[in-house]
Homo-oligomer: A and B are copies of this chain.
Amino acid sequence: METDFIRWLRDRLPPHPSLQVGLGDDAAILRLADRADTVVTTDLLTDGVDFRLAEIDPRRAGRKALAVNLSDLAAMAARPVAVVVSLALPQQGCIELAQQLYEGLLPLAQEYDVAVAGGDTNTWHGPLAISITAIGETTRRGPLRREGASSGDVLVVTGQFGGSILGKHLDFRPRVAEALLLNDRYELHAGIDVSDGLSLDLARLVAESGCGAEIDPDAVPVAPAAQELANDPRGNKSPLDHALGDGEDFELILAVPPAEASRLLSDQPLDVPVTRIGRCTAEPGLWTRDPQGNRQTLPPTGWEHVFDR
């Protein structure tokens, strides 16, 4: 019964300074920092699309459902405060599954200091769907937006790209602390997290900013997993293709004014490398330009949510 499950869950939720009212009322109440704005993002993950429950420990699915939301808050340079978690569970074994999902997401919530403020737990005749909404707060530096990049800005990224399907798409670390630190210490013009593909998400950032971008293909940090996929004789993509289009890297792309970028790249203030991959152009569009100056159109690749296929 839902009541027993809620009791089980309540026992596992630590108190949180921002949580005035948590589980057990009609809604949760959060007290955010003075003058902070409320930042809201939501992601719905489904069995067969975002993970395959037949192949993985459900804890990893629960963890991923929270992590992708935290990555969206990171992309806004917002401090995570709380999440609400809705589950549509297949009826058979639903209590065990619900507990496993929470056993996956609760440690991440605690690590990132996020309250689980409420949710809605249901069973039905369909497969598993997990919907999480994350609430964050802006910091004194304000939010980081997709818009705001301008011609001449340097494009930098955290971490490496490609091949996340081999494991990182489930176990990645959302770049929350990294985004908060960078937004606090450096002037950032725009940012986005890479959920659908480095080139596709970069195209979205520059489109919202009304500019374009050139990237140096040799500078893109390619993950070993991208190399591994490229080695598979059944595929026909290069490691760079994988890095540019695989998606679910959940790294950050940032547009940074040149002097700030030099300082940031020289400081390397994060545990993860920050790499210059290119620059923003006045002309809208996306190109590669190698160190020899050869310039080619770069068609954005990545995961597009295709309807009616």
Binding site for B on A (CB under 8 A): 1-3, 5, 20-21, 24-32, 37-44, 46-49, 72-73, 75-76, 78, 82, 84-89, 91-95, 98, 117-127, 129, 131, 133-136, 138, 143, 145-147, 192-193, 208, 304-309
Contact = CB atoms under 8 A, between A and B. Distances in A.
Contact of A29 (B39, B48, B94, B119): B39
Contacts of A24: 146, 208
Contacts of A48: 124-126
A3 B204 CA distance: 11
A44 B86 CA distance: 6
Nearest to A93: B308
Which 10 pairs, one residue from A and one from B, show the smallest C-beta to C-beta distance? A131-B131, A27-B41, A26-B75, A2-B305, A133-B133, A44-B86, A126-B126, A42-B84, A30-B38, A46-B124
Contacts of A127: 124-126
Contact of A307 (B38, B84, B94, B147): B94
Nearest to A78: B27
Contacts of A86: 42-44, 131, 133
Given A88-B129, A131-B86, A307-B123, A38 B29 contact: yes
A42 B116 CA distance: 12
Contact of A143 (B29, B72, B145): B29
B87 A44 contact: yes
Nearest to A124: B46
A304 B121 CA distance: 11
B41 A76 contact: no
A28 B308 CA distance: 27
A143 B37 CA distance: 20
A64 to B, nearest CB: 14
Contacts of A49: 122, 124
Nearest to A24: B208
Given A27-B39, A42-B120, A94-B307, 19 more contacts: A2-B306, A24-B146, A26-B41, A26-B76, A27-B40, A28-B41, A29-B39, A30-B37, A41-B118, A42-B85, A42-B119, A44-B120, A46-B88, A48-B126, A91-B307, A122-B305, A123-B307, A131-B131, A135-B135
